[in-house]
Structure 1
Amino acid sequence: MPRASSPTRPGSRAARSTTGRWCWHARPMRTPEATRRRAATERRGRRAEWLALAALMLKGYRPLAMRVAAAGGEIDLIVRRGDTIAFVEVKARATLVEAQGAIGRVKRQRFSRAVRAWVSRNPFAAALTLRADAVFIGGRGWPVHLVDAFPIEGL
């Protein structure tokens, strides 16, 4: 008698969901409206990152990298001032309250994983102070920089 949890059994829910997940022809196509919305969101995010970088540079930070993807996570900005490297998460929403609530537990875990990967590839950073900052952009106001916004897990 086959196991009830076997995903390879024909007709099982897992077998059907795998088809939808991996076959391009089985997935619904993205509508032009959804594609336009996604592109607009991407542009807003990039604009917010540049605005955040400009605000940090006015505070004396020097950019080291932007949009670093590593180990399943992404770091929006990496900046340095003195002997401190700040890994910055940028969040832009309609209001500052929404922006501040947008960094959840899973996002912090992915962010920390990406930071650990970046530090392992850049050994000069081990001798410096490392912290996770956040820049929140809400509405039309100036970006709010939160120093040491959350701990970097596993570092």
Structure 2
Amino acid sequence: MAKGAKRPERERIRRWRLGRRAEWMAALALMVKGYRILSWRYKVKAGEIDLIARRGDVVAIVEVKARTSIEAAMDAVGPFAQRRIEAAADHWLRQRPDYDRLSLRFDIIAVTPRRWPVHIPNAWQARP
């Protein structure tokens, strides 16, 4: 293996670890706020959801972003990513007929250096 070939692999592993750590911190922040985590890293062909949490009658579909700022985290969830998350949420909801009576919301949690995770409820609205 060439010396330069190891560098991209290390970077990929570093980013994977950072993402998993950010998801754990986001889940902890949600639990402190009274949410129950229903699912972690829900993945289907249509898309992926980092966290699915519930508090009362609200089911939060949560995208976790580890970035240097809150603005960078919000910008990282563009229209294409939103559509994929919405498609995965549709799939998840179809598997749970009792959840049709609950309110569904799309949130972002920004995990930034040396700060408690910032929860942005209703970060976007699902398109019909």
**TM-score of the alignment, normalized to the shorter chain, above 0.5:** yes
Match of 1:104 among 71, 74, 78: 78
Unaligned runs of 5+ in 2: none
Partners of 1:132 and 1:151 within 8 A in 2:
yes
Q: CA RMSD in A?
A: 1.3
- Is 1:45 paired with 2:19? yes
Report the Cα offset of residue 31 of structure 1: 1.6
Picking from 111, 119, 126, the partner of 2:93 is 119
Match of 1:146 in 2: 120
- Structure 1 or 2, whichever has the larger Rg, is 1
Q: Does 1:80 align with 2:54?
A: yes
What SS does structure 1 have at the residue aligned with 2:127? coil
TM value normalised by structure 1: 0.77
Shift of 1:76: 0.3
Single out whichever of 44-53 and 125-134 deviates more from structure 2: 125-134
Question: Within 2, Cα distance between the matches of 1:105 and 1:31?
Answer: 33
Name the one with the larger strand percent: 2
**What's the secondary structure of 2:77's corresponding residue?**
coil
Provide the C-alpha distance between the structure 1 equivalents of 2:16 and 2:10, rounded to a whole number of angstroms: 10
Specify the SS of the correspondent of 1:31. Answer: helix
Greater RCO structure (CA 8 Å; 6+ sep): 2
Runs of 4+ in 1 over 3 A off after TM superposition: none
What SS does the aligned partner of 2:64 have?
Answer: strand
What code does the residue aligned with 1:130 have? L
CA contact (8 A) 1:71 1:117 kept: no
In structure 2, give the amino acid aligned to 1:69.
K
Mind listing any 5+ residue stretches in structure 1 that lack a counterpart?
1-29
Shift of 1:152: 2.0
Shift of residue 95 of structure 1? 2.1
The count of aligned residue pairs is: 125
